[in-house]
């Protein structure tokens, strides 16, 4: 059973930065991708960014392009989300997700097999 543990969330002022981490354990075979999603109160969970594990391809939501960067450390089995120039509208619970094999677009929640518990990011104005 794959387990994902997020960390790095917190309270930051607008314009500030945070770095989220997601450590994966329990996987005995290679994955296809890992991604970050977020969910604000009263809204649906939305795609933020993803990275293809065997290559260097990355994907971003338009709302975070140029501000957020997803990266990975294969040796540590960890994915990161560097968030710069944060805005109040970035406030949400951020979830890490693991896609075992290609079974759909990285942009969709249903494509992912495992999810972390989430970490709160709050951006004050």
For the CA atoms of 23, 27, 28, 30, the dihedral, rounded to the nearest 10 degrees, stands at -80
The CA–CA distances, whole Å, from 117 to 23, 67, 102, 106, 125 equal: 12, 24, 23, 19, 26
pLDDT digits (tens, 9 = 90+) for 62-95: 999 999 999 999 889 999 999 999 999 999 999 9
Task: Identify the DSSP state of 12.
Answer: E
Q: Which residues in the chain show pLDDT less than 50?
A: none
Provide the pLDDT for residue 30: 82
Provide the pLDDT for residue 105: 93
CB atoms under 10 Å from CB of 86, counted, come to 22
Residue 81 is encoded by which pair of tokens?
């989300």
């Amino acid at each position: 059973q794959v387990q994902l543990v997020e960390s790095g969330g917190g309270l930051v002022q607008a314009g500030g930065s945070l770095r989220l981490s997601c450590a994966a354990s329990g996987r005995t075979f290679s994955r296809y991708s890992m991604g970050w999603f977020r969910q604000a109160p009263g809204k649906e969970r939305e795609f933020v960014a993803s990275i293809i594990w065997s290559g260097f391809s990355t994907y971003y939501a338009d709302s975070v392009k140029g501000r957020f960067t997803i990266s990975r450390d294969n040796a540590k089995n960890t994915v990161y989300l560097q968030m710069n120039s944060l805005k109040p509208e970035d406030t949400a619970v951020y979830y890490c997700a693991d896609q075992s094999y290609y079974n759909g677009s990285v942009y969709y929640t249903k494509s992912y097999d495992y999810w972390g518990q989430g970490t709160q990011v709050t951006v004050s104005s």
